[in-house]
A and B are shown apart, each in its own frame.
Chain A
Amino acid sequence: MSGYGSHDERETYALVAEFDSAEALLAAAEAARVAGFKKMDAYSPFPIHGLSDAIGFKSNAVPFAVLGGGLLGGLTGYSLQYYVHVLDYPMNVGGRPLVSLPAMVPITFELTILFSGLTAFFSMIALNRLPKPYHSIFNTPGFERATQDRFFLAIEAKDKNFDPQRTHEFMRGLNPLSLNEVHA
Chain B
Amino acid sequence: MAKETLNDVLITGQPTYAAVEDSIGRLVLNQKVHKRQWWYFFLFGMMGAGLLLVSIFWLLYQGIGIWGNNVPVAWAFDIVNFVWWIGIGHAGTLISAILLLLKQQWRNSINRFAEAMTIFAVMCAGMYPLLHTGRPWVAIYWLFPYPNILGMWPQFRSPLEWDVFAVSTYFTISLVFWFMGLIPDFAVLRDRAKNRTTKVLFAILSLGWRGSNQHWHRYEQANLLLAGLSTPLVLSVHTIVSFDFASSIVPGWNVTVFPPYFVAGAVFAGFAMVLNFLIPVRAYYNLKHLVTMRHIDWMAKIMLATGMIVFYGYILEVFYTWYSGSVFEFKLLMDRFSGPYAWSYWMLIFCNGVVPQLMWVPKFRRNLVLVWIVSAIVGVGMWLERFVIIPVSLTNNYLPSSNKMYYPTFWDFAMFFGTIGFFFFLMFLFIRFLPIINIFEVKDLVHKMLTGTAKTEPSTRPAQQPVGAGE
Contacts and interface: CB of A to CB of B under 8 A. Distances in A.
Contacts of B243: 106
A121 B219 CA distance: 9
Contacts of A43: 210-213
Given A44-B213, A113-B229, A124-B180, A132 B162 contact: no
Nearest to B199: A144
Contact of B222 (A42, A123, A144): A123
Interface stretch (A2-10, A46-54, A165-173): A46-54
B169 interface: yes
Contacts of B210: 43, 135, 137-138, 146
Contact of A89 (B153, B161, B176, B225): B153
Interface in B432-465: 440-441, 443-444, 447, 451
A95 interface: no
A182 interface: no
Interface residues of B, number: 62
A44 B447 CA distance: 12
B55 interface: no
B151 A110 contact: no
A72 interface: no
Interface string A89-120: 10001000000100110110111011011101
Contacts of A44: 211, 213, 216
A41 B212 contact: yes
Contact of B226 (A59, A110, A117, A133): A117
Contact of A52 (B16, B21, B190, B213): B213
Contacts of B190: 147
A179 B445 CA distance: 28
B5 interface: no
A44 B153 CA distance: 51
Contact of A113 (B169, B183, B187): B169
Contacts of B221: 60, 62-63, 124
Contact of A117 (B165, B176, B183): B176
B145 A80 contact: yes
B135 interface: no
Given A41-B212, A117-B229, A131-B208, A106 B443 contact: no
Nearest to A22: B447
- The binding surface of chain A is classed by DSSP as helix
A85 interface: yes
A146 B213 CA distance: 11
Contacts of B179: 121
Nearest to B17: A149
Nearest to B179: A121
A7 B440 CA distance: 38
B166 interface: yes
A95 to B, nearest CB: 14
A46 B444 contact: yes
Contacts of B191: 144-148
A156 B152 CA distance: 59
Given A81-B156, A124-B218, A124-B219, A110 B208 contact: no
A47 to B, nearest CB: 4
Contacts of A109: 232, 236
A17 interface: no
A103 B152 CA distance: 19
Given A89-B151, A106-B240, A114-B169, A59 B216 contact: no
B207 A48 contact: no
B388 to A, nearest CB: 26
A75 to B, nearest CB: 15
Contact of A149 (B18, B145, B152, B162): B18
A128 B166 contact: no
A48 B207 CA distance: 21
B214 A59 contact: yes
A15 interface: no
A159 interface: no
A16 B28 CA distance: 31
Contact of B173 (A45, A62, A114): A114
Contacts of A80: 145, 156
B233 to A, nearest CB: 5
Contacts of B220: 47
Interface of A: 22-23, 29, 41-48, 51-52, 55, 57, 59-63, 66, 80-81, 84-85, 88-89, 93, 100, 103-104, 106-107, 109-111, 113-114, 116-118, 120-121, 123-125, 127-128, 130-135, 137-138, 144-149
Interface of B: 16-18, 21, 145, 151-153, 156-157, 159, 161-162, 165-166, 169, 172-173, 176-177, 179-180, 183-184, 187-188, 190-192, 203-204, 207-222, 225-226, 229-230, 232-233, 236, 240, 243, 440-441, 443-444, 447, 451
Given A62-B225, A88-B153, A148-B192, 15 more contacts: A48-B216, A57-B213, A63-B225, A110-B165, A114-B172, A117-B226, A123-B218, A123-B222, A124-B221, A124-B222, A127-B218, A133-B208, A147-B191, A149-B17, A149-B21
20 contacts: A41-B212, A41-B214, A43-B212, A45-B443, A46-B447, A47-B220, A85-B157, A89-B153, A107-B165, A110-B165, A111-B169, A117-B229, A123-B218, A127-B218, A128-B218, A133-B203, A135-B208, A137-B212, A146-B191, A147-B184
